[in-house]
Amino acid sequence: MSLLNDTKCIIESLQENRIDNVKKCILNAKKLFRGTSGLGMNWYIGYKDES
């Protein structure tokens, strides 16, 4: 379950716009971003507003 807890911590921090807390979540994660977890294909999806 710690993978879900790690993910929840990061998502909640992002929703609250607390970037400093995201760093703490990543550093304290037990499963997410450990070993080969999270080291595969990394995709950034976004858009640029033309106006």
pLDDT in tens, 1-51: 688 999 999 999 999 999 999 999 999 999 888 776 655 666 667 777 887
43 assigned to some structural domain? no
What pTM value is reported for the model?
0.63
- Determine the structural domain holding residue 11 and report its residue range: 1-35
Query: Which tokens in the block code for residue 13?
Result: 């921090």
For the chain, what is the largest distance between any 2 Cα atoms, rounded to a whole number of angstroms? Answer: 44
45 assigned to some structural domain? no
17 assigned to some structural domain? yes
Give which of 13, 16, 34 is closest to 24, Cα–Cα.
13
